[in-house]
Amino acid sequence: MSKIRILAGTKKGAFILTADGNRKEWQVGGPYFAGWEIYHLKGSPADPNRIFASQTSGWFGQIIQRSDDGGQTWQTPGSTSEELKDQNGFPRGESNKFSYAGEAGTHKWYDGSQHPWEFKRVWHIEPSLDDPDTAYAGVEDAAIFKTTDGGSTWTELPALRHAKGHLWQPGAGGMAVHTILLDPQKAGRIYVAISAGGAFRTDDAGQTWKPINRGLKSPYELPDPDAEVGHCVHRIAFHPARPDVVFMQKHWDVLRTDNAGEHWTEVSGNLPTDFGFPIDVHAHEPETIFVVPIKSDSEHYPPEGKLRVYRSKTGGNDWEPLTRGLPQKDCYVNVLRDAMCVDQLDPCGIYFGTTGGQIYCSPDSGESWRAIVHDLPSVLSVEVQTLT
Amino acid sequence: MVHIVLPFHLRRLAGVEGDVAVSVSGSVTIGAVLDSLEAQYPVLRGTIRDHGTLKRRPFVRFFACKEDLSLEPPDTPLPEGVVQGREPFLIVGAMAGG
């Protein structure tokens, strides 16, 4: 029988939750890296037992952790004395060293002035689809890095910041590359999303990038609502069988593109509010998508205190609330952008974590929900692995 | 040998319990002690000082012999008690939050 492994990053450590394919009885492991913020963990599709984790601290900075046994043991790759010396005996880069390539340059600051790029933390790690030693890291201040040695060293793909990076600016949560989508059909095509820079695409493995924000409108965030860059994109997602169709949860508005980002169309439809953070696509139905509407940019909790996932089976516009098993009164949690995911089983499982420390699972495509855990630290990210 | 007291999270990261001892060749300065510490425990690189600039991270403090040395330059000699190994060099996570 298949096995499910949830990788949850929280404000105070990582947790690994496992169950069989019935997704009813769960074992909870952790906390790992207790007391540290774990922004994200993700397993390699090429080797599911290889898991990367971003461990961060306002005091002590950024650490990259790696497990090669499914999360039982962890190491900081590239940090042994032997690994730290090159063939001539000189020190080289480490797993927690993220240095911008060349002149770091500047981006737009809150007061409109230009501000130097400063590395703060890794928000998201996206392992390669076919090489367990290769992974991408989306970081704050916004940039994308790549490792080809299992996380021992990281090198920036600097062309992303050349895509009008001087016009990007931080939102309230900072300025970060938070979403990285690797196209499984077109080699070299990668999408990224940045708050608050917008969405970008490369077709040559990161040598060049183009903004793909036509159709986005941000009248309350930008002086030019149709600006080429600067939009606060909260999350993008695609179905791997149809990677030219990308769905977006923007600061406000839910959108879709059917041509790899050349143009976006709003599909918020009948949502009670189109503000929110996560968006994801059903594993077997490319037109079925999920969002969690949040009241507003000023009030980061569900409208009316009712925690509702909304599902569209038509790729947007027509949405239905999914409430069975979710709290329908006095609920004032948030669901962050990296805290929703789907498994590969049939029926598809949907998972999300909350800032209140719950992780919810729906084993039936959203029809019903149950909290796997109630009292974790605030959940920053949720990933799921379907293991056979 | 210079004895160093690390904060909880860095002890755990380095995989040590209690104080750590490092030997320093030449002048026993703040920078030399940190160089030796990072050479002995490479995983600590970047956690106390920034990688590129080697500047102290904002929420890390250095204490020794009841003195706050956090704002002193890296070539500042450490007190004789630390050099002789009678007193520890403390690396402390600054108070932050409410």
Which string of DSSP letters, residue by residue, matches A130-155? S-TT-EEEEEETTEEEEESSTTS--E
Distances A218 to A170, A200, A225, A250, A263 between C-alpha atoms, Å: 15, 17, 4, 9, 15
Q: How many angstroms separate the CA atoms of B29 and A51, rounded? A: 39
pLDDT of residue A223: 84
pTM, rounded to two decimals: 0.93
Residues of B in contact with A79 (CB under 8 A): 42-43, 45
pLDDT of residue A111: 85
CB distance from B10 to chain A under 8 Å? yes
CB distance from A57 to chain B under 8 Å? yes
pLDDT of residue A88: 58
Residue of B nearest to A37 (CA): B9
Each domain of chain B, given as residue ranges in start order, spans 2-93
Residue of B nearest to A83 (CA): B42
Residue-level pLDDT, tens digit, chain A, 388 residues: 899 999 999 999 999 999 999 999 999 999 999 999 999 999 999 999 999 999 999 999 999 999 999 999 999 987 766 666 655 555 554 678 899 998 889 999 988 899 999 999 999 999 999 999 999 999 999 999 999 999 999 999 999 999 999 999 998 889 999 999 999 999 999 999 999 999 999 999 999 999 999 999 998 888 889 999 999 999 999 999 999 999 999 999 999 999 999 999 999 999 999 999 999 999 999 999 999 999 999 999 999 999 999 999 999 999 999 999 999 999 999 999 999 999 999 999 999 999 999 999 999 999 999 999 999 999 999 999 999 8
Structure tokens at A12: 């105070």
CB distance from A73 to chain B under 8 Å? no
Q: Which residue of B48, B52, B57 is in closest CB contact with A99?
A: B52
Q: Which residue of A58, A60, A99 is in closest CB contact with B10?
A: A60
CB distance from B95 to chain A under 8 Å? no
Answer yes or no: is pLDDT of B54 > 80: yes
Q: How many angstroms separate the CA atoms of B41 and B48, rounded? A: 12
pLDDT of residue A110: 87
First CA to last CA distance, chain A: 7
pLDDT of residue A80: 67
pLDDT of residue A82: 66
Contact call for residues A335 and A342 (beta carbons, < 8 A): no
CB distance from B36 to chain A under 8 Å? no
Q: How far is A89 from chain B (nearest CA, A)?
A: 13
Structure tokens at A11: 């404000």
Candidates 3.40.50.1110, 3.10.20.30, 3.30.70.580, 3.40.190.10; CATH matching B2-93: 3.10.20.30
Cis peptide before A240 (omega within 30 of 0): no
Interface test with A, best of B6, B10, B13, B34 (most A CBs within 10 A): B13
Mean pLDDT of chain B: 93
Q: How many angstroms separate the CA atoms of A145 and A26, rounded? A: 34
Residues of B in contact with A36 (CB under 8 A): 9
* CATH class of the domain comprising A3-387: mainly beta
Q: Closest Cα partner for A174 from A196, A199, A145?
A: A196
Test A59 with B46 for CB contact under 8 angstroms.
Answer: no
Contact call for residues A153 and A78 (beta carbons, < 8 A): yes
Q: Which residue of B7, B13, B59 is in closest CB contact with A63?
A: B13
Each domain of chain A, given as residue ranges in start order, spans 3-387
Tell me the Ramachandran region of residue A30: left when phi exceeds 0, alpha when psi lies from -120 to 50, beta otherwise: left
Residue of A nearest to B15 (CA): A75
- Edge to edge, the sheet with strand A61-67 lists A37-43, A51-57, A61-67
Tell me the Ramachandran region of residue A209: left when phi exceeds 0, alpha when psi lies from -120 to 50, beta otherwise: beta
Q: How many angstroms separate the CA atoms of A140 and A62, rounded? A: 11
| Cα angle, residue A184 at apex, residues A54 and A129 outer, rounded to 5° | 40
Structure tokens at A249: 């949860």
Residues of B in contact with A57 (CB under 8 A): 9, 47
CB distance from B13 to chain A under 8 Å? yes
- Give mean pLDDT, residues B20-45: 93
Q: How far is A12 from chain B (nearest CA, A)?
A: 12
Query: Which ipTM did the prediction report?
Result: 0.86
* Coil/strand/helix, residue B32: helix
Cis peptide before A219 (omega within 30 of 0): no
